[in-house]
């Protein structure tokens, strides 16, 4: 009985770690996209439009990945 409980705790820990990793990935991708938008804005003197566009593209892309992952887990 204790093995089953320990195994279930292990699975929950893996799930939390996976979602935490996805959160860090979300922030990292947004940071990279925002940085690229900022640099392009600075080079082309179009502030703040490319920064906002890069943020939107990164946010929508990561939101899609999170929803796809959630859907896969929900279907199981």
Structure confidence by residue, pLDDT tens digits, 7-53: 666 778 888 888 899 999 999 999 999 999 999 999 999 999 999 99
Let me know: does 41 contact 47? Beta carbons within 8 Å. Answer: yes
Q: For residue 48, what is the DSSP state? A: T
Distance CA 21, CA 32 (A): 16
The model's pTM: 0.78
Longest dimension (CA), the chain: 65
The rounded distance, in Å, linking the Cα atoms of 47 and 59 is 19
> DSSP secondary-structure letter at 47?
T
Residue 60: closest CA among 35, 30, 31, 34:
30
């Amino acid at each position: 009985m204790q093995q089953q409980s320990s195994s279930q705790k292990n699975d929950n820990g893996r799930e939390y770690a996976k979602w935490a990793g996805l959160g860090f990935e979300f922030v990292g991708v947004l940071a990279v996209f925002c940085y690229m938008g900022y640099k392009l804005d600075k080079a082309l003197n179009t502030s703040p439009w490319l920064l906002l566009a890069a943020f939107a593209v990164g946010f929508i892309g990561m939101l899609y990945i999170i929803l796809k992952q959630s859907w896969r887990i929900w279907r199981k």
